[in-house]
């Protein structure tokens, strides 16, 4: 594959291929192929976006020392970031479904870059709060339109395209703490501004992707291609979307417990060093990234409903065993849980997109934004429980979260 550059992406859009609905067997479009160059470009941009997002939480200790912040003030910064990212995404997705704005991709990255600049050079808490809000706004603008691009470039392999797009974000989230530890901490808060260079690169790539997307959208509108349509009444569609959001909440709540408290659990239970606990956390994040990729491919091959069942409910035996395992077994279980749990997300997004054809932006806003926010709320609720009953009890409690996956029994079979 040739290197991903704005010029090469722009060339990919000069002759957009005919889009067709997926076949009934594997979701493979007939007579077309995926635009992998565009998919990889949007995945790389997702990586850059989520690296910059994850830097916010990673530099909290630096900000606390420099500005004397309380935990309440840090919590308010998280609320400014997650509130804008979560609540605005569905609204932006709904608006862009009605009137797509391909160049909003670069605009979203620009908001994130401005937020980083405020975090790097801000002289008061108000600047830090505004920076956190701008990063959240950038995320809210980026995700709906980026998800639309991934679907448009899928060539019928919607699960594969969605998983490749999402794995960029997973990788970025995993790299953020490492970059903070090895770049920002030694060099100081001002080093955050250096990541603006990555944002500029991302804006250049996204501007080219936006041009491809605009050309592809106009050609598709002229052809009026058939979309896979779910033959369900409106009430059934609404109920199914609520079930999918509930399933994502159960997944994100458990994932949030790992991201926020797993290192403390390992230190408390096994007396691991902070470095050793971080390595275990990276095992989880790495296996989750692999699970996202394979989940999309399996969804194209065997159907999204089956993958959702396997992932959401199939992880339950492993989460139940985790609080009682020894250290070597915990490492193995960490990898299995991350892999199996993460494989559901591409399948859930594709299932919802097929359920609501023409509402790609709204689906992205709901599942990347609103469900993400629910996971954050769950993580915040677990904090007082850990204070009152101990960190081990948190994982004994969270072990049952995947049982909520039984709600998947109510997911309908989509007849196109």
Q: Given this chain, do its domains 6-11+19-223 and 234-410 carry the same CATH topology?
A: yes
Q: Binning pLDDT at 50, 70 and 90, where does residue 221 land?
A: low
pLDDT value at residue 294? 86
Distance of alpha carbon 199 from alpha carbon 219, whole angstroms: 30
Domain boundaries, the chain: 6-11+19-223, 234-410
Mean pLDDT of the chain: 81
pLDDT of residue 44: 94
pLDDT for 24 beyond 80: no
CB atoms within 10 A of CB 197: 10
Task: Read off the DSSP letter of residue 28.
Answer: P
pLDDT at 20 over 60: no
DSSP per residue, 328-368? HHHHHHHHHHHHHHHTHHHHHHHHHHHHSTT-HHHHHIIII
Residues 6+ apart with CB under 8 A from 368: 89, 143, 144, 147
Domain at 234-410, CATH class: mainly alpha
Nearest CA to 24 out of 354, 296, 309 is that of: 354
3 state DSSP class of 152: helix
**Predicted local distance difference test score (pLDDT) of residue 143:** 87
Residue 342 · residue 314 · CB < 8 Å: no
Q: What is the fold of 6-11+19-223? A: Growth Hormone; Chain: A; (1.20.1250)
Higher pLDDT, 43 or 3: 43
Report how far residue 139's alpha carbon sits from residue 302's, in angstroms, rounded to the nearest whole number. 31
- Candidates 281, 283, 285, 337; CA nearest to 314 is 337
Q: Which residue has the higher pLDDT, 210 or 26?
A: 210
pLDDT in tens, 166-212: 888 888 877 877 787 778 878 888 888 888 888 899 999 999 999 99
The DSSP bridge partners found for residue 35 are: none
Structure tokens at 335: 């990898």
- Tens-place pLDDT, residues 256-292: 778 777 878 888 899 988 778 878 887 888 888 888 8
Alpha carbon distance 118, 111 (integer Å): 11
């Amino acid at each position: 594959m040739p290197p991903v550059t704005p010029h090469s992406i722009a060339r990919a859009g000069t002759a957009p291929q005919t889009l067709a609905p997926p076949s009934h067997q594997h979701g493979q479009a007939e007579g077309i192929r995926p635009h992998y160059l565009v998919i990889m470009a949007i995945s790389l941009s997702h990586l850059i976006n989520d690296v910059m997002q994850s830097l916010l939480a990673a530099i909290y200790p630096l900000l606390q020392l420099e500005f004397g912040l309380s935990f309440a003030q840090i919590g308010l910064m998280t609320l400014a970031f997650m509130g804008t990212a979560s609540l605005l995404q569905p609204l932006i997705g709904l608006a862009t479904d009605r009137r797509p704005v391909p160049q909003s991709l670069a605009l979203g990255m620009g908001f994130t870059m401005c937020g980083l600049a405020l975090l790097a050079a801000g002289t008061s808490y108000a600047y830090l709060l505004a920076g956190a809000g701008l990063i959240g706004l950038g995320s809210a603008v980026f995700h709906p339109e980026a998800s639309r691009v991934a679907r448009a470039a899928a060539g019928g392999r919607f699960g594969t395209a969605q998983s490749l797009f999402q794995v960029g974000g997973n990788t970025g989230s995993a790299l953020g703490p490492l970059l903070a530890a090895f770049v920002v901490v030694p060099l100081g808060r001002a080093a955050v501004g250096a990541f603006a260079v990555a944002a500029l690169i991302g804006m250049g790539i996204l501007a080219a992707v936006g041009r491809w997307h605009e050309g592809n959208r106009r050609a598709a509108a002229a052809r009026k291609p058939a979309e896979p349509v779910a033959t369900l009444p409106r009430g059934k569609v609404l109920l199914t979307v609520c079930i999918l959001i509930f399933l994502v909440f159960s997944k994100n709540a458990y994932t949030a417990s790992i991201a926020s408290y797993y290192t403390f659990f390992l230190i408390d239970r096994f007396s691991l060093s902070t470095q050793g606990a971080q390595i275990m956390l990276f095992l989880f994040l790495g296996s989750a990234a692999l699970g996202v990729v394979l989940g999309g491919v399996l969804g194209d091959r065997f159907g999204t409903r089956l993958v959702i069942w396997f992932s959401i409910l199939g992880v339950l035996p492993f989460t139940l065993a985790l609080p009682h395992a020894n250290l070597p077994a915990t490492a193995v279980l960490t990898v299995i849980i991350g892999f199996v749990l993460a494989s559901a997300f591409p399948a859930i997004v594709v299932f919802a997109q097929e359920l609501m054809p023409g509402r790609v932006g709204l689906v992205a806003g709901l599942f990347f934004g609103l469900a993400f926010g629910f996971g954050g709320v769950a993580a915040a609720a677990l904090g007082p429980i850990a204070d009152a009953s101990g960190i081990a009890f948190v994982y004994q409690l969270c072990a049952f979260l995947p049982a909520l996956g039984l709600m998947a029994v109510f997911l309908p079979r989509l007849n196109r």
